Amino acid sequence: MKRITSFEQYTTEYKKSIDTPEKFWSEQAEEFVWKKKWDKVLDWNFDEPDVKWFQGGKLNITENCLDRHLKSGKGEQVAILWEPNHPEAEVRKITYKELHLEVCRFANVLKRNGAKKGDRICIYMPMIPELAIAVLACARIGAIHSVIFGGFSFKSLADRIQDADCTIVVTADGAFRGTKDIQLKGIVDEALEICPSIKKAIVYKHIHADINMKNERDVWWHDEIKFVSSECEAETMDSEDPLFILYTSGSTGKPKGVVHSTAGYMVSTDYTFRNVFQYNDGEVFWCTADVGWITGHSYLVYGPLLCGATSLMFEGIPTFPDAGRFWQVIDKHKVNIFYTAPTAIRSLEAMGLDFVKPYKLDSLRVLGSVGEPINEEAWHWYNDNIGKNRCPIVDTYWQTETGAIMISPLAGITKTKPGFATFPLPGVQPVLLDEKGVELNGNGVEGRLCYKFPWPSIIRTTYGNHERCKEAYFATFKGYYFTGDGCKRDEDGYYRITGRVDDVIKVSGHLLGTAEVENAINEHPDIVESAVVGFPHDIKGWGIYAFVICDNERKDEDNLKREIIQTVTKYMGAIAKPDKIQIVKGLPKTRSGKIMRRILRKIAENDLSNLGDTSTLLDPSVVEEIKAGAL
């Protein structure tokens, strides 16, 4: 596998990618199987925005993930190595040949149930191989997959199905999660009551739960596969045909359906996987992210499979049966590359070293981090206790919208610094802007992180609303893609992400829109209004602090708080549960009615000394009341 092998080579490749980006990326794209070569490498403008890579090219990404490897003699290699929730349950090893067969077979099931090229298919599944099979089966027939994280509940699921007008949902009877069984089908049933676009639900039997199957609408996966052949020609797709939609939170209550295209996404995920992790043939790669997030799409499914790797998929959680589970799985499957999130590292660190000591961890070669800034403390713990000071750590910075890693060390090649994502990968042109949008040149500067040139896996649109894509990413600073993150470039030119500068919070690595959480809280019948902000949290990175106004004199505050948490869990999912709830009489608002979150943020951070100017508030006295009751 071709990849960068030294820092000198990184420097020359980087320069080449900036001086002649079209030449650089067309060389990368040559490696794949194309049904027809592209006519033009790149067309772009950031004002519309309108970006097209490899125009005129025709391909199917699954031929590159699967068929290509069968032809090159990798058929017997394990593609997906599945570790179940329960350590005693049976492991599954699915070879490239078997995966190819299962994908083709399920692709035929989708067709049999009415799916056509361009249709949107919702996938709401546990972390089992069938999730990857369903994803790839969609790609096989040119249907657009929209995977919804299994931790989201019925309203979030329904909103996302409605937004994309999905016609089919692929799900399971349930999921195992530690000691709990999650009743996925029940959640789907509730969601589908308000989703008339769904004609079929295909249900995989996994936990053997007692579920309702609705006549005409619901069919069993295991029944359907009996009716179809295991051969399915890959649909011919244009380079720019959408491959998938993945929802991400924004500053309004409505999640954005980030749309990725076929060829560009393929080229970027393959390139970054190989180079960042320095993957060697035969190694076991484990990304702990759920396929419901972009990390799972790009580095559990597409990136590794494009590179013919063995990708480990784990259904369980890090703390079941105990907090040594990750380390036990690493030894059990001789994992070589381990990719996880800082929040997981911090929570396992807090459990103590007794859970790490029983394990050798000697198969590990590279460690990765993703999803939020990794604090130095957690970085050192990871380096010392898991990597035993011999595994390079790649702190990979990117976003749902970028599709692939943007700023990151190359494992073992780039000299790292704890807390720094280091340097941009080839093809990535970051700039730091001041608040007026002026580029800050040189080193030792801090500003808003933007990109001034497209890369192949850049977001193409937000589903059904192109204006929103423009507004959210391309309008703040004209001519640039704006990440929403603050960033520092130190004296040595190393990049360090300082965190979000907008109304979204990173809670345990999950991006949540404050407005989305507020909407969920407001579903409680006694709540008239709420305002949500983040506060620094030792394990989660950021916690959720909710200020709520109740419309009657509830004496039982504790019960009310519990009910609010239940409401949020029901409408959004447990990941959005507030950590702190303060019941208030009023919220600090400007005369035009806008909530001044700056003040609430300070209160939540317990920084009461300097609340800034409160004179423009409609009623400055509410601030005193909120301060007095701060948690």
Given 272, 414, 483, 530, the residue binding ligand WT7 (CB under 6 A):
483
Interaction of residue 516 with ligand WT7, rule CB under 6 A: no
Identify which of residues 14 and 420 has a Cβ nearer to ligand WT7 in the complex.
420
State the minimum distance, in angstroms, from the CB of residue 500 to ligand WT7.
Answer: 5
Interaction of residue 371 with ligand WT7, rule CB under 6 A: yes
Identify which of residues 84 and 486 has a Cβ nearer to ligand WT7 in the complex.
486
Contact 435, 476 (CB under 8 A): no
> How many residues contact ligand WT7, by CB under 6 A?
22
What are φ and ψ of residue 389, in 5° steps? Answer: 60, 20
- What strands lie across the sheet with 445-451, from one edge to the other? 430-433, 445-451, 481-489, 495-500
Interaction of residue 69 with ligand WT7, rule CB under 6 A: no
Identify which of residues 63 and 372 has a Cβ nearer to ligand WT7 in the complex.
372
As a whole number of angstroms, the distance between CA 237 and CA 242 comes to 9
State the minimum distance, in angstroms, from the CB of residue 403 to ligand WT7.
Answer: 9
Return the closest-CA partner of residue 88 out of 249, 281, 325: 325
State the minimum distance, in angstroms, from the CB of residue 487 to ligand WT7.
Answer: 9
Identify which of residues 57 and 373 has a Cβ nearer to ligand WT7 in the complex.
373
Site stretch for ligand WT7 (CB under 6 A), options 201-209, 274-282, 369-377, 606-614: 369-377
Site stretch for ligand WT7 (CB under 6 A), options 93-101, 141-149, 198-206, 368-376: 368-376
Residue type for position 76: E
State the minimum distance, in angstroms, from the CB of residue 293 to ligand WT7.
Answer: 6
Peptide bond just before 49 cis, omega within 30 deg: yes
Interaction of residue 400 with ligand WT7, rule CB under 6 A: yes
Over the window 231 to 260, marking each residue x when it contacts ligand WT7 by CB under 6 A and - when it does not, the resulting string is -----------------x------------
Write out the two tokens for 30: 């040559």
| Secondary structure of 550-608 as H, E, C letters | ECCCCCCHHHHHHHHHHHHHHHCEHHHCCCEEEEECCCCEECCCCECHHHHHHHHCCCC
State the minimum distance, in angstroms, from the CB of residue 398 to ligand WT7.
Answer: 4
State the minimum distance, in angstroms, from the CB of residue 528 to ligand WT7.
Answer: 31
The DSSP letter of residue 337 is E
State the minimum distance, in angstroms, from the CB of residue 595 to ligand WT7.
Answer: 22
Distance of CA 390 to the CA centre of its chain: 28
State the minimum distance, in angstroms, from the CB of residue 402 to ligand WT7.
Answer: 8
Q: Around Cβ 453, how many Cβ atoms within 10 Å?
A: 18
Residue type for position 217: R
Return the half-sphere exposure (C-beta side, CA atoms, 13 A cut-off) of residue 10.
Answer: 21
Site stretch for ligand WT7 (CB under 6 A), options 332-340, 391-399, 459-467, 520-528: 391-399
Write out the two tokens for 496: 């360090």
Identify which of residues 396 and 416 has a Cβ nearer to ligand WT7 in the complex.
396
As a whole number of angstroms, the distance between CA 450 and CA 595 comes to 27
Site stretch for ligand WT7 (CB under 6 A), options 160-168, 227-235, 293-301, 602-610: 293-301
The DSSP letter of residue 225 is G
Interaction of residue 294 with ligand WT7, rule CB under 6 A: yes
State the minimum distance, in angstroms, from the CB of residue 74 to ligand WT7.
Answer: 28
Interaction of residue 396 with ligand WT7, rule CB under 6 A: yes
Given 373, 430, 456, 578, the residue binding ligand WT7 (CB under 6 A):
373
Greatest CA separation found in the chain? 73
Given 399, 416, 429, 582, the residue binding ligand WT7 (CB under 6 A):
399
As a whole number of angstroms, the distance between CA 212 and CA 220 comes to 11
Over the window 496 to 515, marking each residue x when it contacts ligand WT7 by CB under 6 A and - when it does not, the resulting string is -x--x-----x----x----
What are φ and ψ of residue 441, in 5° steps? Answer: -95, 165
Q: Around Cβ 492, how many Cβ atoms within 10 Å?
A: 12
As a whole number of angstroms, the distance between CA 142 and CA 243 comes to 7
Identify which of residues 66 and 259 has a Cβ nearer to ligand WT7 in the complex.
259
557 contact partners, CB below 8 Å, separation of at least 6:
583
Over the window 406 to 425, marking each residue x when it contacts ligand WT7 by CB under 6 A and - when it does not, the resulting string is ---------------x----
As a whole number of angstroms, the distance between CA 539 and CA 350 comes to 8
Contact 341, 367 (CB under 8 A): no
Given 372, 515, 537, 588, the residue binding ligand WT7 (CB under 6 A):
372
Q: Which residues bind ligand WT7 (CB under 6 A)?
A: 248, 293-295, 370-373, 395-400, 421, 483-485, 497, 500, 506, 511
